[in-house]
Amino acid sequence: MKLYTTITSLQNALNEEHSKGLKIGFVPTMGALHEGHLSLVTKAGSMCDIVVVSIFVNPTQFNDKKDLANYPRTLESDMKLLSTVRCDYIFSPSVGEVYPVPDTRKFDFGTLETVMEGEFRPGHFNGVAQVVSRLFEIVLPDKAFFGRKDFQQMAVIRALVRQLNLPIGIVPCDIVRETDGLAMSSRNKLLLPEYRTCAPLIYKTLKEAKELDRTATVDEVKKFVVNQINTTQLLKVEYFQIVDDTTLMPIESWSESGTKVGCIAVYAGNVRLIDNIIF
């Protein structure tokens, strides 16, 4: 496992792998790694010859400067964790290395970037598209691995790849959870104990909502989820939407065709958690 912090040194190493015809799998992350990230790295290892993991806290996707400042940065323990699976290259660049000049590119993903996360985190997906396209350009992967936990992000990345006509396969990976059901997240480290104790209610409620979908209307299920989570004073739902998994547009009735996904964002104190479930 080799660590590179500059684009040139990484590209020199990867050029050799490319020239041997080896397939490169890429896992972009912001570090503070956990088993969820490792599942992506393991999947990349099972589908590709070479695995590249980037660790970069991308400032352009944070609409909240405090969130950016508080985001955990744990390169040493990340490297230890990555040494337990097959990871060939870690790319951990500085902000100046990724953005030698400010990235002023504006992407347009239509409603994919304006609903749900897009409504509450303006500019977030533009920042995600900036960093992912930049990293793709640097790594030139054959396949890139993304978690279904960031469901909307995956839809945006697929749109990005289509728009830029990139020859990169996007591989979705299942959500990895703690034993109590809480979706693993780097932000879980920031939860104070009382918030950590009640956070599993989010997934418990999503599972109960899924059970209700035969007997209750879409609206009733939405109200059930919001009310049940908000009953604990410590959690506050920012949004809960049931959407079509491709268009991300809210559905009105269960009879609509297509796969439906319930997507939620919840504040546990000042830590923002997201999760989703397929109905």
Catalytic site positions:
37
CB of 37 to ligand AMP, least distance (A): 5
Among 155, 156, 176, 225, binds ligand AMP (CB under 6 A): 176
Q: Is residue 175 a contact partner of residue 36, using CB atoms and an 8 Å limit?
A: yes
Instruction: Supply the minimum distance, in Å, between the C-beta of residue 30 and ligand AMP.
Output: 4
Number of residues that bind ligand AMP (CB under 6 A): 17
Q: Kindly state whether residue 124 participates in binding ligand AMP, applying the rule CB under 6 A.
A: no
d(CA 65, CA 56): 16
184 touches ligand AMP by CB under 6 A: yes
The residues in 20-59 that bind ligand AMP, with binding defined as CB under 6 A, are 29-30, 36-37, 39-40
CB of 91 to ligand AMP, least distance (A): 14
x/- contact string, 129-158, with ligand AMP (CB under 6 A)? Answer: -----------------xx-xx--------
Does 186 help bind ligand AMP (rule: CB under 6 A)? yes
Phi/psi of residue 98, nearest 5 degrees: -75, -40
> Sign of dihedral through CA atoms 112, 206, 251, 219?
negative
The partner residues of 25 in beta bridges, in order of sequence, read 51, 143
Residue 148 C-beta: closest distance to ligand AMP, Å: 7
Residue of this chain nearest to ligand AMP (CB atom): 147
Options 42, 54, 133, 185; binder of ligand AMP; rule CB under 6 A: 185
Q: Which is nearer to ligand AMP, 36 or 127 (CB)?
A: 36
Q: What is the distance between the alpha carbons of residues 114 and 109, in angstroms, rounded to a whole number?
A: 8
Of 12-20, 46-54, 171-179, 223-231, which segment contacts ligand AMP by CB under 6 A? 171-179
Residues that bind ligand AMP (CB under 6 A): 29-30, 36-37, 39-40, 146-147, 149-150, 173, 175-176, 183-186
